[in-house]
A and B are shown apart, each in its own frame.
Chain A
Amino acid sequence: MTLRSLFIPITLLLVIAFLIGPFLIIVAASFSAGETLAFPPQGFSLRWIAKVFTVESFRASFGMSLFLAIGGTAAALILGIPASYALSRYKLPGAEIVRTVVSAPIIVPGIIVGLALLRYIVVPFQVGITLALFLAHTALVLPYAVRVVSASLDNLRSDIEEAAVLLGSSRLGAFFRVVMPNIRGGIMSAFILGFVTSFNQVPVSLFLSGPGVRTLPVDMIAYMEIVFDPSVAALSSLLAFLSIGIVFVAERFLGFSRYV
């Protein structure tokens, strides 16, 4: 073995250990039987995994995060698909401005978006926290929705819908019968990307919390500051396997990575 042939396996081993190792430690720690978070785990039990499901605030905030991830992404797609269509198929006046405005939320740090919403939407207009979170998560996902859907529209030849219109279909009918079936993979990929982004998002939701209204990751940070037991590790492992599972299935059936 020369030095060079050792370089590749050793580099890869170290980098992957650094990237994946901490996650494996969290998974191991969540099966611990002990009272505190520790590695190597003390014994083996499923008690912390079971405890996750009994903590009332986790259940409430999980429901909230799920609602925001599904509802916010759906709303972002309802706004984003027509906008992407206009951007890719029409001579749109001010196209660059529209593109910049809808994709701006990705550049501005989330904590600023959350604070701005709190001070200038929630307080002056007496908007409820849940609605504010919904608006914030929709705005957050919108850039991803427009980017992914635009990319799949740009990859689709536009003459097929022009042909449909020439053959007597309405513009709307052509969109739903010709364009939609062809960009379904892109739309579903945008949905999954939006879902994962929204679900894992912390800074936007930091200031947008009220009594009993919180997103799951914010709730986890609050919990780990008070309690040092393995339940956050258990919850982290469960969530990680959930998102890996979703992405794996998406890759298998949609070729997810082609779109994002």
Chain B
Amino acid sequence: MFQNRTEALALALPAAIFAAAVFLVPVVILLSDGFRVPTGGWTISAYTDFFSNSLNQAVFLRTLRLGALVTIASAVIGYAAAFAIVSLEPGAKGKVTGLVVLPLMISPVARTYAWIVILGRTGIVNQAFQALGITEAPLRILFSETAIFIGLLQLFLPLMIISLISALENMPKDAIPAARVLGANWFQVFWKVVLPLTKEGLVIGGTLVFTGSLTAYITPAILGGSKVLMLETLLYQQVAVSNNFVAASVIAFILIVMSFAANILLKRVATARNKQRSQA
């Protein structure tokens, strides 16, 4: 540890001042827009206006609903996938984990665009459904909540799987066999042994998936179209189409509050885990 304060500040301040000037100050001013009265003073009327509009309510609820559904689905699939991966031989485990991580390196635009080919009117799903005689006319899957759900799940599932793999690997090796020997069935093993022991990994993965889904722009923009909006695409429309900067500020504030709440939860779980480790 060096003690020289002047040197320390000279090294750290350029980055801090840059981040404050380019990022923190403009964002704080933007967020305050929604609370300011143009003639001076403060108000929350922009928020009551925003939530009294039924379209805005629908978008807000849809964003929460999709965030929750994607998080739950990724947890269910994530546990199955992570279980399968940790039970592989070390060599195969590395390769399969690599395949799971690989999509994270690919541009989200490219990954989302692929779903147009799959879910579109003449896409693979409709071709298959019609060939099998399940439907006669092509189904409208694109530009719906279902399409956004599928796109978000594919985008964020790897984050959940990775969190759960490390949680399962940190679990004591003999916990499952011990529970089996003592007569627990597989449901009890999961519910009473695996879930409590991997809770932190689940919360970390869940937070990443949930905040990622809430604040996703590309997926709803490409797969939801201009009708099925989420908060980010609504924000974009308010600015680009309606020039309504107050509404944009309200949406920004809602998004930030939700991301911060999720991140605080994440931090709390992380510190709780460190405490547990240092006690062990």
Chain A residues with CB under 8 Å of B102's CB are 19-20, 244
A86 and B105 contact, CB distance less than 8 A: no
Per-position contact with B for A37-58: 1 when CB-CB < 8 Å, else 0? 1110000000000000000000
B217 and A101 contact, CB distance less than 8 A: no
Given contacts A108-B27, A119-B245, A244-B102, contact A92 B117 (CB under 8 A): no
Given contacts A26-B113, A101-B20, contact A11 B106 (CB under 8 A): no
Q: For this complex, into which size category does the number of interface residues on chain A fall?
A: 35 or more
* 8 A Cβ contacts from B232-252 to A: 232, 235-236, 239-240, 245, 248, 252
Given contacts A220-B109, A239-B110, contact A26 B117 (CB under 8 A): yes
Per-position contact with B for A118-156: 1 when CB-CB < 8 Å, else 0? 011100000000000001101100100010000000000
Chain B residues with CB under 8 Å of A98's CB are 12-13, 15-16
A39 and B256 contact, CB distance less than 8 A: no
For chain B, what secondary structure do more than half of its interface residues adopt (helix, strand, loop), or is it mixed?
A: helix
* 8 A Cβ contacts from A104-121 to B: 104-105, 107-113, 115-117, 119-121
A232 and B113 contact, CB distance less than 8 A: yes
Chain A residues with CB under 8 Å of B218's CB are 202-203, 217, 221
Query: Per a CB cutoff under 8 Å, which of B1, B16, B122 touches A91?
Result: B1
Chain A residues with CB under 8 Å of B12's CB are 82-83, 86-87, 90, 92, 95, 98
Q: Is B46 an interface residue (CB 8 A)?
A: no
Which interface residue of B19, B24, B30 has the most chain A CB atoms within 10 A?
A: B19
Per-position contact with A for B8-37: 1 when CB-CB < 8 Å, else 0? 110111111011101111110110000000
Bound form: Cα–Cα A217–B222 in Å: 12
Bound form: Cα–Cα A113–B29 in Å: 11
Bound form: Cα–Cα A120–B118 in Å: 41
CB distance from B202 to the nearest CB of A (A): 17
Q: Is A15 an interface residue (CB 8 A)?
A: yes
Q: Is A160 an interface residue (CB 8 A)?
A: no
Q: Which chain B residue has the least Cβ–Cβ distance from A239?
A: B107
CB distance from A23 to the nearest CB of B (A): 6
Chain A residues with CB under 8 Å of B24's CB are 101, 104
Q: Which chain A residue has the least Cβ–Cβ distance from B259?
A: A107
CB distance from A2 to the nearest CB of B (A): 13
Q: Is A8 an interface residue (CB 8 A)?
A: yes
Q: Is A89 an interface residue (CB 8 A)?
A: yes
Given contacts A15-B81, A111-B232, A115-B248, contact A217 B217 (CB under 8 A): no
CB distance from A208 to the nearest CB of B (A): 12
Per-position contact with B for A199-227: 1 when CB-CB < 8 Å, else 0? 11011001100000000010011001000
Q: Is A253 an interface residue (CB 8 A)?
A: no
For chain A, what secondary structure do more than half of its interface residues adopt (helix, strand, loop), or is it mixed?
A: helix
B15 and A92 contact, CB distance less than 8 A: no
Which interface residue of A92, A97, A112, A217 has the most chain B CB atoms within 10 A?
A: A112
B23 and A139 contact, CB distance less than 8 A: yes
Bound form: Cα–Cα A203–B118 in Å: 25
Q: Is A179 an interface residue (CB 8 A)?
A: no
* 8 A Cβ contacts from B265-280 to A: none
Q: Which chain A residue has the least Cβ–Cβ distance from B7?
A: A90
Q: Is B60 an interface residue (CB 8 A)?
A: no
Q: Which chain A residue has the least Cβ–Cβ distance from B253?
A: A112
Q: Which chain A residue has the least Cβ–Cβ distance from B256?
A: A108
B2 and A112 contact, CB distance less than 8 A: no
Bound form: Cα–Cα A110–B211 in Å: 12
A112 and B252 contact, CB distance less than 8 A: yes
CB distance from B93 to the nearest CB of A (A): 11
Per-position contact with B for A61-72: 1 when CB-CB < 8 Å, else 0? 000000000000
B105 and A243 contact, CB distance less than 8 A: yes
B4 and A19 contact, CB distance less than 8 A: no
A203 and B154 contact, CB distance less than 8 A: no
Query: Per a CB cutoff under 8 Å, which of A29, A83, A104, A239 touches B11?
Result: A83
Can you identify 8 A-B contacts, CB atoms within 8 angstroms?
A8-B87, A23-B114, A26-B117, A111-B236, A116-B26, A119-B30, A120-B29, A138-B18
